[in-house]
Structure formats: structure tokens, C-alpha cells
């Protein structure tokens, strides 16, 4: 059976998009019943590609996106540091919605890899970070207020450590 098929117009700016109903149909191709597809993000909504639903994180674990590569170059030394701090790649079978069909390997987006570790280790690291930040503030305060022996005392500025809303001029 000879069918005459119109040549497809060239694509580009200002050209109409070809919808499936307009595409030439091939005969003799068997397919399973098509699955219903939907759009998750409609109306120009912002989609955070790094969002992981907290309800899907196993109890007792914490997730973070960690650097995997920069300009497609992996730093093995940094990968060792992550492992030494308790971070391991998240098993992609746990989150099939975050990977392409047939994907093998860790969950990676824009050079960042989704990692997990026990929540106790994360809390411990956060406490260490808070302690280091407080120590840095104390050291600067001592620099500002203290003077070497034999010098006159400094005029200490008033420093507030609270959070307050800023007044807005009309």
C-alpha cells in the first residue's frame, strides 16, 4: 500500500510544534496499553530539583546534597572525606522518582550527589559547628575589648547579639 507522506516542516523558532496526533503513523508496530502520563508542575511553578520529601527519608537518617563533581571532575580525596564523616550515597532504589528509568549508580543532579548518614552524626557535627562559631565570636569580642599591657583601655562599641527587625523609613 503506497501512502504519500507530506514532508515534515523544518523546526525552529516560530514553527508549529508537531503533536502526536499530527505525526505520521507507522503500521505494524505493536505496543502495550499506553500508561497515563501527567505533568507534575503546571502553570510555570518553580520546581526545586533538589527537593526530597522529608516523609521519604528513613527514620534516624539525614540527607544532604554533597559535591560529587565540579566541571565533571570528581575529587577522590573529597569523596574519602565524606565517607570518613559518615556520608554514603543514598540507594537510588529507595527513590525511583529522583532517577531516570534504567539509571545505575548514585542519585546525582548538577554535580551534587544525594547522601545520607545517621542523624546522630549530623547532630554531633552541627553542635561542633555551633561551638566553633561561638568561639570565633568570643575571640573577636576579646580583640575588640581588650588592650595590650601598658595601653589605655579602648572605647568599646555597643554590640547587640539579638535579632531585631530594622526600622523602615516611610
Residue 160: strand, helix, or coil: coil
The reported pLDDT for the residue numbered 135 is 94
In a domain, 23, yes or no: no
Contact 134, 142 (CB under 8 A): no
- Which range has the worst mean pLDDT, 15-29, 70-84, 107-121? 15-29
pLDDT exceeds 80 at position 106:
yes
The reported pLDDT for the residue numbered 34 is 79
Q: Are strands 112-118 and 88-89 parallel, antiparallel or unpaired?
A: antiparallel
In a domain, 164, yes or no: no
pLDDT exceeds 50 at position 169:
yes
Total number of domains constituting the chain = 2
pLDDT exceeds 80 at position 57:
yes
In a domain, 135, yes or no: yes
> What is the domain range of residue 106?
63-116
pLDDT exceeds 70 at position 84:
yes
Is the same domain home to 68 and 101?
A: yes
pLDDT mean over 50-63: 94
* Residues 6+ away with beta carbon under 8 Å from 62: 116, 117, 118, 119, 121, 122
In a domain, 160, yes or no: no
Is the same domain home to 127 and 112?
A: no
Residue 94 CB neighbour total at 10 angstroms? 13
Contact 112, 50 (CB under 8 A): yes
Is the same domain home to 98 and 136?
A: no
pTM: 0.61
Amino acid at each position: 500500500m503506497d501512502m504519500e507522506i507530506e514532508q515534515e516542516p523544518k523546526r525552529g523558532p516560530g514553527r508549529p510544534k508537531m503533536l502526536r496526533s499530527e505525526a505520521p503513523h507507522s503500521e505494524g508496530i505493536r505496543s502495550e496499553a499506553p500508561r497515563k502520563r501527567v505533568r507534575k508542575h503546571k502553570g510555570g511553578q518553580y520546581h526545586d530539583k533538589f527537593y526530597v520529601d522529608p516523609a521519604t527519608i528513613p527514620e534516624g537518617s539525614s540527607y544532604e546534597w554533597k559535591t560529587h563533581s565540579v566541571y565533571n571532575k570528581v575529587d577522590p580525596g573529597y569523596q574519602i572525606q565524606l565517607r570518613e564523616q559518615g556520608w554514603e550515597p543514598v540507594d537510588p532504589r529507595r527513590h525511583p522518582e529522583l532517577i531516570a528509568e534504567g539509571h545505575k549508580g548514585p542519585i546525582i543532579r548538577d554535580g551534587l550527589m544525594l547522601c545520607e548518614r545517621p542523624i546522630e552524626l549530623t547532630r554531633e557535627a552541627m553542635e561542633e559547628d555551633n561551638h566553633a562559631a561561638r568561639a570565633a565570636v568570643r575571640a573577636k569580642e576579646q580583640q575588640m575589648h581588650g588592650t595590650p599591657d601598658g595601653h589605655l583601655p579602648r572605647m568599646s562599641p555597643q554590640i547587640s547579639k539579638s535579632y531585631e527587625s530594622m526600622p523602615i523609613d516611610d
